[in-house]
Structure 1
Amino acid sequence: QEHLPNDQVGNATPLVQQWRMHRFIGCWRRPRHHPKGSDAKGIRLEVLDVDGHRSWSLLADQEAMGVELRSQVSALVGRPQADVVLETCEGDVVQDEDQVFETWPKLLHEPTLRMRHFKRCRGLSGSADTTALSWDLATGEKMETLYGHAGMVWCIAADWQALRAVTGSQDRCIRLWDLGRSSCICELEGHEGAVLCIALDWHARRALSGSIDGSLRLWDLGKAAHSASQTLSGGPDSVEASPCLQLLQTQGTAILCLATGWPDLPLAIGGLADGLLRVWDLESGQVLAELSGHQDAVQSIVADFGTKRALSGSKDHSVRLWDLERGTCLATMSGHSAMVWCVDADWASNRAISGSADRGLRLWDLKLGGCLDTMYGHEGSIQCVQAGWSSQRALSGGYDRTLKLWDLDRRDCLLTLEGHAGMVWCLNVDWDTWSFLGLSKDSAAVDFGWEAEELPALEELPVPEAVETAGPFCEEATSDVGSLPTGDGLEPPPEEDLRSAAAASEEPPQAREDLWEPEDTEGLRHVLSGSTDGSLKLWDMESLSCTNAFKANATTVWCISGEWDSGQAIIGSADGKLRLWDLHSGCCVSVLRGHEASVQCVAVDWQRGRAISGSFDRCIRLWELRSGACLSRLSGHRDSIRCLDVDWQSNRVLTGSVDCSLKLWDVHSGRCLLTMQPEPSKESPVQCVAVGWLTLQVFSGSADGMLRHWDCVSGTCKRQIKAHEGSVLGVSVDWDWRRLLSCSADRLLKLWDIDSGMCLQTLRGHTGSVTSLVVDWPSRRAISSSLDKTLRLWDLHRAICLKSFEEGGSVMCVGVALQASSAQAPETTMKRPAPPPLGLDV
């Protein structure tokens, strides 16, 4: 108070009380040795610690920038720089780019600036762009970026009090981070595959990780950090034991998710790619229980070992509640129309939330086993979610590269966070600090405590019309739970309910015919075809006529891709060249040279001017269309590359080869992330491929007439169907309605139901091998090309041929000249960070 003007002394105590919820209060005053109005070269900042009654004094340079002052104060008080805010008494924040001397005359006469330090509500998110971002959830501001991983970040766990976090990545590494300094402390290596899940107990300096290689590893973080510090400081060389304390194997089955009983119990439960849940004793390494019930991979799990309950989400579209003491399924909650990627639960109020590839978040009542409400807002699959139940908030991340903050009470989205350049795979939030901040609908921070409203009693909530209380596998679950601790839990459903649910679920799978009606669309308005005589033709499907034809090449045209708005198309031919054509003038714009053999497949990102091609020379090449330069070359296949599928957002490409393998690549780094290959006795050259990048599911067709369903997470073949008598040359998938259309050298096209594996329709008409196809799924129409020198337009809903078009030669490929709005991903306005993430924006 002695430094305040006399007229403000009486207001000093209320000022302290007003900001008591924040940790530090600072006021500016002129140095005593400078007379009032003199040309001062410095200014003194008094920093007061309200809780501990301590104070610091800092002499700041007159020419200092705002960010420099924040850095000095951060070092002085020992707090992260992001939590230091300089503001005027009127509430105007001094921005980092503003020089403080602009307000210097005011500072010489009265204390017009103050500094406040408060604990923010923070969140972390990991993405396919190889980075992890730190967020301020009160303002939606991106605070820090954690660089270091060479692959997508699959999982995150954090201890917010200690400001420590661990991340697992596609690059097979685990990194320990200091969140205060945004730096990597150490790196843990040992897994032979991508690290998909992780848990952290910083108090005991340990972490548990699960991998696609089928192993669980228990890590000593203290030993790893000490070893890293010794290496950096150049200490004496010594052979230290590995920081991996324990290794648990699952016979090669990928561990997709896990939850632990830390810090109270040394137990862990993991979800496996084969649909099982497994409980481990981390001290002895023994398996205490195996729970079966899910019909597909378990993608997410949360557990409360105190009440012996767990909640899991699976690719079978269901959420299941488990009794860990009895080893039984208490309830099966259905409602999602696609795989469930993430779940979170509040065991005290018996509520849960789940996110799915159907773009919806569902709130569940665990006591009744029904869905309370559904929230939509994401434009793609929801990959992760975490709820702060005491504050009625939830944060979700998804394929659309955004995070969304939700009000669970009002069921609406409060805030959308944008900053990632790839899909968001994981997140972690410090919900304990939310009580320090209020959040209004317009995302403005309010400086008062916020109390959650009283939740309605469970009896007052609406009961869903149909609730599935158990699944067909619940009674067969393992009952050997070993030394699991005992305690109160939910009572199991009545036996008659279990029997009725199990009987109902024993019905054979049926193909879904509901709502599969055609829609009006212009998806197949403009069609391109290439043939063995080197000609290129443009077809108008509205007038059912050829609008343009020109000699594109002297050799066979093997592949084609076009865009109608720009009037351009690119073709790959047998001479190893890619040619860019102007469809309006019929002129060749440029020729891309580099392949040494026939170009078999090509995909184009017209918006960014990039193309990627595969060839008989066993290489994949990335091209810049404007300059015609080859940006990178990927090699690894032992034989010709026949097909590829690209996700331009995550910069990944999947290729199929005559060497019978499928490979997943990171385009920018050129690394092969995953190789999938059937058993030696079932190997056959891969001819075509279709990828669902939202769900990481793959369908491939091969020369033995088989359709194979692959899981890119586990790298395994889930099932295979004998689809045709000849080689499968083309495949297209409708991931929403679970339909697949295939074409073959046996002259047939077949429509399949993915879930049941049933052939719904067989389309006949071609008299030669059907070489390729394109499908517009909303309108239920398809175009096929054949060696019988024809193109055929099909109505898949009525299973009839609408029109046959005659070509001059055998038609080897067909493509659609898409509208730019439907062909391209939305353009990002983000500035490229440094160092750059793995991407194509080079």
Structure 2
Amino acid sequence: MVKAYLRYEPAISFGVVASPESNVVYDPSGRRLLAAALDRFAAWDPKRGLPSSIFTPASSSPSLAVSCIASSPSAASASASSIASGHADGSIRLWDAETGACEATLHGHRSAASALRFSPSGAVLASGSKDCDVILWDVVAQAGLFRLRGHRDQVTDLLFLDSGKKLATCSKDKFIRVWDLDTQHCLQIVGGHHSEVWSMDVDPSEKFLVSGSADPELRVFRVRQSAEDGEDWNKWDVLKLFGEIPRQTKERVQTIRFNKDGSLVACQVAGKTADIYRILDETEAIRKAKRRMHRKKEKALAKAVTAEGNGTVIDPLPAQDSQNPTVVVTDVFKLLQVLRASKKICSVAFSPSNPPKGCLASLSLSLNNNVLETYSVDNEKVSKTHSIEIHGHRSDIRSLALNSEDNLLMSTSHNAVKIWNPSTGDCLRTIDSDYGLCSAFVPGNRYGLIGTKSGTLEIIDINSGNSIDVIEAHAGSIRSIVLIPDEDGTVSARGFVTGSADHDVKFWEYQLVQKSDTDSKHLSVTNVRTLKMNDDVLAVSIGPTGKHIAVALLDCTVKVFFVDTLKFCLSLYGHKLPVLCMDISSDGALIVTGSADKNLKIWGMDFGDCHKSIFAHTDSVMDVKFVYRTHYMFSVGKDRTVKYWDADKFELLLTLEGHHAEVWCLAISSRGDFIVTGSHDRSIRRWDRTEEQLFIEEEREKRLEETFEADLDNAIEHRHGQKDDAPDEGSVGVPGRKTKETITAADAIIDALDTAEEEEKRLNELKEEQSNAERAKSQPNVIMQGQSPSDYVLNAVSNVRPNDLEQALLSLPFSDALKLMAYLKEWSLIPLKVELTCRVCLVLLQTHHNQLTSTPAARSILTELKGILYGRVKGCKDTIGFNLAAMDHIKELLAMRSDAPFRDAKAKLMEIRQEQSKRSDRSDGTERRKKKKPKASTQS
């Protein structure tokens, strides 16, 4: 009988606030900050310091790491997909900002996406990648528009110009390109940078474009406002160099961003600083230019006076230059503040919402130590207002420990200990400590033990979150802490054992200490025995009954001793590199060791014989543990994987992938229903046991298929890469790329065409051979589910995702394409399928144009479609125009109704003012008549 096992699947991931590989952006409202956390990203509320929503892909894989994020600039598009994320596998995902649901996945890039930007309307998305291509996507239709080729290296940034009609892109090939999106060609290639261009941005008024590289200055360009601009503009030029701004630091520029009103621009470098410049308006710039020319004139006059004394003559400055000075870039851009962070800055983003009173803008940073900070920028200083840091460690996680009830998780890092709820991922306590390499809960779950890199043993109170005592336990790093169990296998309050790099294994006992009469008693420990070893101790493990203790040494051996007498029992040797981890099964029969030689060895505890040596990981094995009361075990390694084994059959049961860096440690619950792993990527992942069964043979076949498909994909990508190494200058390509989904969709269309053709033949034969009565008794085709052949094929085409439709149609042979075109006339009569019909017709016509025009059977089809599709598209266009006009009319009516009380009040106010003015005019007239009457009497 084949043995079945229960499958473990990823449950939750926590501990990461912001990944250093991605950027941070604000949502359209400006109330939430979007920050990537490995393969997902979260929307944080900077004021509360809590995530309001988390965006997680359906499948979790290291290749899905978020590399860039973009948010739609207009809140009007928030009802549609207003957030886009680029991933390391080249895919682009569109998200609903309100529900957090992934609405579409777009495949087009062959390498990681490096830049994303929405158009001003939010309907078009531009993406740049490490494959040197730029792709334009239709967000509404969720499909690609076209691919722009021309850059010779990674595209680092891009932005829209001229209300979304043009696109500017920069690359590591040192050039900036300007593309016309209507004609889909490159208008201008801007050079001048001496190294890779890393970022650029344009102010909201599209007056200035600022680009930065590793050069010691920023380059500022003027953007052409209209085609009628005079000056010295070339006919096709969109950007013109305005000047260069010297930078304060020598590090390369990483991010350049303008604020909402365009009055500030932040230049963040690949270091700890960010320069904030203020853009002066035209009046201030002219005033500054006049002061500059005045100072220059004074210096010239001083030089002239000095020269006259020496008998030389110097021409003074022209009077015209001092009165009408030429404004240069330093007159417009003024260095306002230099922001200095505590750690390296990864990305910056200005908040689009209105800043608080008294400050110019709010600037948010993501640091490489897993922290998000928000600063308020003022004329005088830059001050920190908010910080998000309690939800993760500042560095990698070195040890994990679960309490006896499995409801608390303790993790250690280089400067802090955190207590988590493993069910929800919430951080409950943060305790400052030294660099913790190992940890354990004291029986009773009230205290915790931390073994540090400096050799100290720290005792912490879980409830209060304080460090109770620090004991100088060892002279070297403490590598392992193991609790001593009772004879029945349960954890007792007898004590624990520590192993250190000072060659000592020490036994400790608990005791309650009271420092003074007023103080309460607290836990302390005392050393009762010491086992001296000949080399550094790397790992310690104790049997379930507390009878044996195993010690792994730096000399690649494992020595087993009796706990009561500390006498030597067994020696396990066979590893070629030091043993880094080990564990003894709950029945005491087996001991497993993991080494830096990438192998797992399973030994018998009775005679010390090696049952099996398994090549487990492609890098060092960092931790291994048995599931309680079983011979199943989990191992983790530097190859970023978690593996599930059967120690009796020596079989690999499951490989769990999800971590993005080396996995240092793991902890298994007492019932084995979940495991927790900690990694160098600062994340903690929980894997839950499900009720789904797995079989060894099926998993082995699945791994072989995945390996074969991965090799096939790599060969295809390599072939594509060789063909596209040198694309044509400014060429345009197809936006999508061939994937497994597109091939499956093409196969589904071909099968539908074949089934429909057979059904049509069957119906024609019945029509010719049989009478109507007999034809009514004929059985319909079960596969077609009662549909006509045309509807069946239309259903198969409609089920293809919009982004995969073009590539699926490109994969069809000409014979099947001709069959598909025969149905287009009938599909065009369906009002809701006009757009799909036109798209299918356009792709097939572009792909097979020469063959279609030379095939007599296709000419009649094309002639009929020419008139039908034109009329149907014109009718749809008229309907859309009529609906838009009706919506505008309704909008005006609603605006009039909402303004009605204000307009009535305003009209009444105007009437009152008119009456008051009439009364004042009447009173003035009577007074003038009264003054004139006496004068008339005197004259008479």
- Return the TM-score normalized by structure 2: 0.28
Name the structure, 1 or 2, with higher relative contact order (CA <8 Å, separation 6+).
2
Give the number of the structure whose alpha-carbon radius of gyration is greater. 2
Name the one with the larger strand percent: 1
- Return the TM-score normalized by structure 1: 0.31
